[in-house]
Structure 1
Amino acid sequence: MSNLQRSFAKAKLAGLPLDPPLPHSTFEEQEVTLEDPDDDLKPLPDQKFTDDDSSSASSASSASSTGTIRPSPTNRLFARPKGPPSGRRPLDPLLWSDFFDQELYLDNPRAHEIVTHHVYLTLPLEKGPLFVTHHGAGSSGLSFAMLTSELRKALPNSGVLSLDARGHGETTVKNTGQFTMEGPLNLSLEILSQDLLDVIRLTQKKLSWSELPDMVFLGHSLGGAVTTDLASSGKMGDVLLGYAIFDVVEGSAIDALQSMQSYLSTRPRGFPSLSAGIEWHTRSRTLRNTTSARVSVPSLLCQENLPGSTSGDGRPWTWRTDLAATQPYWEGWFVGLSKKFLEAKGGKLLLLAGTDRLDKELMIGQMQGKYQLQVFPEAGHFIHEDQAEKTAMVVADFYRRNDRSALILPPKVGDLLRQKS
């Protein structure tokens, strides 16, 4: 470059402004924003995270990088996602109306007593089937809430009638006449079976049905014994297509009764709230489906407000049904169950949580193809609650196989001969 060119360049540079100052904060101090705050961030190896939402907890989990990138206070890089911002808390009770169309109170006058049966109902549509359910001891009609929703998905025209047995849920028994009832309610198999028949007939009368729809009985534990007893009586006639029982077998049920009192003694006497009761059922694995627990457990508890009650111990929510007081009826519920199950008219379905529950009579019947067996080893005793979707699929297929409305029978020989003549 010549001397003239150098002089010209220096003159031009002298006229330019000074370099702009560097930002006050260095790169390490710049805030970092996320394009999507909901993106899942995988932790680095050997990092431990807590549920603490504070910024100190977030930064402590990435101490090696705090001198490099500092997250914005409004975007905690390592904070765990929280639950839904609004709505019910995870263990809040759910309403029966989220699962059934309506509830009915059916008065049933009898000798020396008036029973007011409480039932939950979802009506069948366009000649769809009606599934009539009966819960186990200590439970309620809401035990079948989740199954009802899943059945409507599998069979959109189906209906469900789910009752509260006497001494359970909101069904009440009022004594009348000169006799007084002492001790626990009569929960004999004969009485419970008659109650189930009365509920079906009273529902038909209440809804002005000219005839009953095709039915399938579904019974869990004690409910399986009740539905099987009514099915074997033949009182339902041809409207009963079949019956399914959930996790109840005569032999294993009678064996389990020996330890029933021990089990009842380990249960909490009460709970401080309904949410605490729901939590105990899920933590103890009594119920393995949280959604089902949120709708069925509240009906198992009642708030004790009577003078001299145990509400002062901070656990006002106590068990609605005194199962220990029903011990005189336990054996009568299940004796002869296997024989009645195999001999009753109609399709038969047995759902179990394990094949070890089968007794000798049912093993022989299974080998002879007298009933359908389905095992859900991942479920607990409450199969229809723990595995509601799978149970609904099995029950829907069971109904389709026994649905007589889809059958087209060939004409009789006599009719063909008359047509030719």
Structure 2
Amino acid sequence: MSDLQRSFLKAKLAHLPPLPPDDVAEVPVETDHDDSSSSASSASSTRTIKPLQSKNMFARSTSTASGKGGQLEQIPWSTYISQELYLHSHATDGKPAITHHVYVTPPAAQGPLFVTHHGAGSSGLSFAVLASEIRRLLPKAGILSLDARGHGETVILTPEEGGSTTLDLSLETLGNDMIDVIRLTQAELGWEELPPLVLVGHSLGGAVVTDVASRGVFKDKVLAYAVLDVVEGSAIDALQSMQTYLSTRPSGFSTQASGIEWHTSARITVPALLRQNPSPQTPSGTWVWRTDLAKTQPFWEGWFKGLSKKFLEAKGGKLLLLAGTDRLDKELTIGQMQGKYQLQVFPEAGHFIHEDLPDKTAAVLVDFYRRNDRTALVLPPKVSDLLRSNKEGSLGL
């Protein structure tokens, strides 16, 4: 080939569009499904996702920007959220009394309330930076981020003497707790009625918000719900290696800063995961985990069993954010091809998508809310009203 031919081809190639990525293939989307079991207002993906190479379900991304420059001191939660509440639920029907601890920034008039539920072993502060990012993009939005029982500063009390009781982390109980927290917050802040709700859950929290949405307790107040990096098939598969993961995790740390460093400098979320060891002379260290994840093993399978079916059938807009397409199971793959929910994949993130990429996650959630917002929806007048109006006009009334 001559130099002239090479120059000609090089010029032509420079003007060609880039090749599409290898992990997607465009296909038409089927929309002939029942609107009662899916969301017509959700923005469905128009691409069929091919599974990528499997990645660690529990991995944290090493690209997080938190704590740059070697800073490991704790960041106060008030940097991101306006207030904290302690909500008291009395003992009833043999159930223990509980004091729920939540972080909340109330919404402005007609603004939505994003209600978040963290994963096992985390706390409400897992969503602190995300909350700030949501408010930056949507200033009228409110945030309600709870500490699940056995996590953070939520405390369980026995009806008789206020001591600790057996920890019940079943899906039904966690769902009941989330419902109670929403109602107690409404009463505490004096809201006459609930604002529009967007439920957001990460990992175990994704199963909880799906369970709450499927119950229909809040009816049309739940605009939509979002699940972050958990689906039934891959979650249950990952449970097989959970004990191995826990065995590689330190049992404690000598200082909070050591725990922050181990978590890739998560200065806002980590302090809420640790408590001071009452027996500091033990090998576990001065700071130990608030939640003993090994003791939650009896509940693991119950958290995720039937999740995919429930996710697809509950009413409201549906969003699934994943750190990799290898998470998708068969049922969700079919549902995605049929356009039953919105799918967003962040392959550059780890399992904690909302902590690794809070700005991008917030942008997706705010856009998701706007697609499902019914407050700006203006319905056309009824035919009977139009006929009545025309009749009165013809009579000169």
Query: Same fold judged by TM-score > 0.5?
Result: yes
2:202 maps to a residue whose letter is H
2:97 maps to a residue whose letter is I
SS in 1 for 2:267: helix
TM-score (norm: length of structure 1): 0.74
Give how far 1:311 is off. 3.5
Give how far 1:414 is off. 1.1
Give how far 1:314 is off. 7.6
Counterpart for residue 200 of structure 2: 218
Stretches of structure 2 that go unaligned for 5 or more consecutive residues are 1-68, 392-397
Question: Quick one: which of 153, 160, 170 aligns to 1:170?
Answer: 153
Q: Work out whether 1:304 is the aligned partner of 2:277.
A: yes
Q: Work out whether 1:334 is the aligned partner of 2:304.
A: yes
1:277 maps to a residue whose letter is G
Counterpart for residue 64 of structure 2: none
Question: Quick one: which of 310, 319, 322 aligns to 1:349?
Answer: 319
TM-score (norm: length of structure 2): 0.79
Matches of 2:225 and 2:259, distance apart in 1: 32
Counterpart for residue 248 of structure 1: 230
Contact 2:175 2:209 in 1 (8 A): yes
Counterpart for residue 44 of structure 2: none
Q: What pairs up with 1:10-21 in 2 under 5 angstroms? A: none
Counterpart for residue 245 of structure 2: 263
1:370 maps to a residue whose letter is K
1:59-108: CA deviation from partner (whole Å, max 9, x where unpaired) = xxxxxxxxxxxxxxxxxxxxxxxxxxxxx971111101111100000000
Give how far 1:367 is off. 0.5
Matches of 1:334 and 1:119, distance apart in 2: 24
Counterpart for residue 371 of structure 2: 401
SS in 1 for 2:178: helix
Instruction: Give the structure, 1 or 2, with the largest relative contact order (CA under 8 Å, sep 6 or more).
Output: 2
- The count of aligned residue pairs is 321
Structure 1 residues 153, 202: CA separation in 2 closer, same or farther (over 3 Å shift)?
same
Give how far 1:110 is off. 2.4
Identity of aligned residues (%): 66
Structure 1 residues 261, 108: CA separation in 2 closer, same or farther (over 3 Å shift)?
same
Q: Cα RMSD between the aligned structures? A: 1.6
Counterpart for residue 14 of structure 1: none
Give how far 1:313 is off. 3.8
Matches of 2:364 and 2:245, distance apart in 1: 31
Counterpart for residue 390 of structure 1: 360
1:347-405: CA deviation from partner (whole Å, max 9, x where unpaired) = 00000000011000000000000000000000000000000000000000000000001
Question: Quick one: which of 382, 389, 393 aligns to 1:419?
Answer: 389
Give how far 1:415 is off. 1.0
Matches of 1:361 and 1:303, distance apart in 2: 44
1:263-286: CA deviation from partner (whole Å, max 9, x where unpaired) = 10110011011110010011xxxx
Q: What pairs up with 1:86-235 in 2 under 5 angstroms? A: 90-111=71-92, 112=94, 113-177=96-160, 184-235=166-217
Contact 2:121 2:293 in 1 (8 A): yes
Contact 2:111 2:195 in 1 (8 A): yes
Matches of 1:313 and 1:263, distance apart in 2: 19
Contact 2:198 2:222 in 1 (8 A): yes
Matches of 1:178 and 1:275, distance apart in 2: 36
Counterpart for residue 42 of structure 2: none
Radius of gyration: which is bigger?
A: 1
